[in-house]
């Protein structure tokens, strides 16, 4: 390899290292046993709701979208678990990554999602996605009454078992 090509490769490598290190996110999403990050977004009526509005409760922060087939398939399970535990200090806080308000609202009605649902209708560009490191849906984070994350990405039977351990 000639000296010019070697110098180019060295310069390119150095620039790549600088870019990667400076482009790194300032903070990583919260992990298990860390405090949750509060999010405030509008509900279907435009009222601002925050996860912290439900401090003191077990909270399942559920990231979903009306166009997401696996999300819609999981919703009957969530409805059943919510109905079972809503009187036992448990709330689901739905955060939609929809971009179309009519589709979002229609899915809430169609799937009987009676818990708080919020969205800024920015899709994947919503800050909530970045704060929690969400890269796919459905995705959730389980938070205890003291605000600590005690589970991630629990679905189906795994979610039912965890809630039974905590709330039965």
CATH of the domain at 148: 3.40.30.10
pLDDT at 25: 41
Higher pLDDT, 117 or 30: 117
Choose the weakest-confidence range: 14-18, 57-61, 83-87, 140-144: 14-18
The yes-or-no verdict on residue 8 having pLDDT over 70 is: no
128 falls within a domain: yes
The domain in which residue 119 lies consists of 28-167
16 falls within a domain: no
Q: What average pLDDT is seen over the chain?
A: 88
pLDDT tens for 42-97 read: 999 999 999 999 999 999 999 999 999 999 999 999 999 999 999 999 999 999 99
32 falls within a domain: yes
Distances (CA, A) of 107 to 53, 82, 83, 135, 140: 24, 17, 18, 21, 18
Please count the structural domains in the chain: 1
Residue 145: burial class (beta carbons within 10 Å; 0-12, 13-18, 19+): middle
Coil vs helix vs strand at 60: strand
CB of 59 closer than 8 Å to CB of 82: no
pLDDT at 4: 54
Give the pLDDT band (50/70/90) at residue 32. Answer: confident
pLDDT at 128: 95
The yes-or-no verdict on residue 14 having pLDDT over 70 is: no
pTM of structure: 0.82
Could you tell me where the beta strands, DSSP code E, fall in the chain? Answer: 40-42, 48-50, 58-64, 90-96, 117-118, 139-143, 149-152
56 falls within a domain: yes
Can you read off the two tokens belonging to residue 40? 């405030």
Sheet of 139-143: strand order equals 117-118, 90-96, 58-64, 139-143, 149-152
Coil vs helix vs strand at 61: strand
11 falls within a domain: no
CB of 30 closer than 8 Å to CB of 36: yes
101 falls within a domain: yes
């Amino acid at each position: 390899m000639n000296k010019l090509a070697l110098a180019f490769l060295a310069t390119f490598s150095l620039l790549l290292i600088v870019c990667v290190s400076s482009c790194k996110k300032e903070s990583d999403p919260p992990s298990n046993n860390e405090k949750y990050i509060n999010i405030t977004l509008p509900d279907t009526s435009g009222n601002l709701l925050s996860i912290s509005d439900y401090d003191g409760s077990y909270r399942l922060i559920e990231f979903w979208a009306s166009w997401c087939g696996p999300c819609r398939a999981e919703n009957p399970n969530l409805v059943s678990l919510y109905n079972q535990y809503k009187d036992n200090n448990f709330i689901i806080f739905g955060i939609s990554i929809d971009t179309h308000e009519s589709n979002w609202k229609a899915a809430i009605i169609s799937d009987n999602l009676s818990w708080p649902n919020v969205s800024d209708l920015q899709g994947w560009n919503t800050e909530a996605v970045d704060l929690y490191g969400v890269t796919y849906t459905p995705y959730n984070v389980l938070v205890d009454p003291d605000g600590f994350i005690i589970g991630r990405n629990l679905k189906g039977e795994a979610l039912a078992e965890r809630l039974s351990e905590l709330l039965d």
